[in-house]
Chains A and B, each alone.
Chain A
């Protein structure tokens, strides 16, 4: 098809459910190190390092949906040591931040990472993956079988 059906300017946001705004904000800011602003009573927007945001919507009438590890957000950190320190912190402060599960460290394609399940049943991956890695992958193009 010559022209796409949708003309978009940019990829602007993803979404995340919560049911306790203050506790969620504390986890996102103090634990994960994200920036956040609350423009609406029922939603706060988080971001880090780019123009896109993740919209955190408060579910008033029950628990946030339980996601599987295959649907998660990925955070980039600078070094293997930062991944290890983040995992150690997740284990040490699990109860304080409502962290429900902490997976083991993995090494994939040269990137060190681990996943955790947060207070809102959403999975996060802390990884050394970087924009430079994605630049390289897109520049290389499809791997042909």
Chain B
């Protein structure tokens, strides 16, 4: 059933050009950076004390994703985590295959303590996604998932609404 794609409003109140960034906090920027780089394979930069920007790799000149827009995480160091995050407040990555999710699970399991991974869930299927979830010492949740090509987020956009209110 392909109902219809509901495009954005013709004249919304906010003239949004891009959903460009998400923000989160850590109590230790150095620890967080090590985890983001060594575990999650992200690119990090600290333009000012207590502030870090994070993006996926590949956007530097000459790299495969150069010129493509990217999503940024803005991470700020705080003395404490005032609002602990939960599973429905996670950040997610697409893995190249189901085997890559299994491999990630095995490798993270073996290095949990070194990188301060507090909790790691075994791979499981849900809604066409094969995924693991992990939490870090700042209560942030991270998902690594594999979706078949017809179920990746951009493909689902093309299919349009599958449910109405």
The answer to whether the Cβ of B28 comes within 8 Å of any Cβ in the partner chain is no
Tell me which residues from 62 to 119 in chain A have a Cβ below 8 Å from any Cβ of chain B: 65-68, 70-78, 82, 85-86, 89-90, 93
The answer to whether the Cβ of B56 comes within 8 Å of any Cβ in the partner chain is yes
Indicate the size class of the contact surface on chain B.
35 or more
Inter-chain CA distance A36–B12, complex, in Å, is 13
| Cβ of A69 to closest chain B Cβ, rounded Å | 9
**Are B93 and A33 interface neighbours, CB within 8 A?**
no
Given A8-B56, A138-B45, verify A54-B19 contact (CB < 8 Å).
yes
Inter-chain CA distance A86–B15, complex, in Å, is 8
| Cβ of A119 to closest chain B Cβ, rounded Å | 14
Inter-chain CA distance A62–B12, complex, in Å, is 29
Residues of A within 8 A of B20 (CB): 49-50, 74-76, 129-131, 134
B165 partner, pick from A21, A65, A75, beta carbons under 8 A: A21
Tell me which residues from 22 to 64 in chain A have a Cβ below 8 Å from any Cβ of chain B: 22, 29-41, 45-55, 57, 59
The answer to whether the Cβ of B78 comes within 8 Å of any Cβ in the partner chain is yes
**Are A34 and B19 interface neighbours, CB within 8 A?**
yes
The answer to whether the Cβ of B118 comes within 8 Å of any Cβ in the partner chain is no
B153 partner, pick from A12, A89, A93, A145, beta carbons under 8 A: A12
B8 partner, pick from A21, A29, A41, beta carbons under 8 A: A29
**Are B56 and A10 interface neighbours, CB within 8 A?**
yes
| Cβ of B104 to closest chain A Cβ, rounded Å | 4
* CB nearest neighbor in B for A13: B92
**Are A131 and B38 interface neighbours, CB within 8 A?**
no
Given A75-B19, A86-B14, A142-B45, verify A38-B91 contact (CB < 8 Å).
no
B21 partner, pick from A4, A32, A85, A129, beta carbons under 8 A: A129
Inter-chain CA distance A145–B59, complex, in Å, is 26
Inter-chain CA distance A7–B59, complex, in Å, is 16
**Are B82 and A68 interface neighbours, CB within 8 A?**
yes
| Cβ of A31 to closest chain B Cβ, rounded Å | 5
**Are B40 and A49 interface neighbours, CB within 8 A?**
no
Given A6-B108, A49-B69, verify A37-B16 contact (CB < 8 Å).
no
**Are B45 and A141 interface neighbours, CB within 8 A?**
yes
**Are A75 and B18 interface neighbours, CB within 8 A?**
yes
Tell me which residues from 97 to 143 in chain B have a Cβ below 8 Å from any Cβ of chain A: 100, 103-104, 107-108, 111, 115, 127
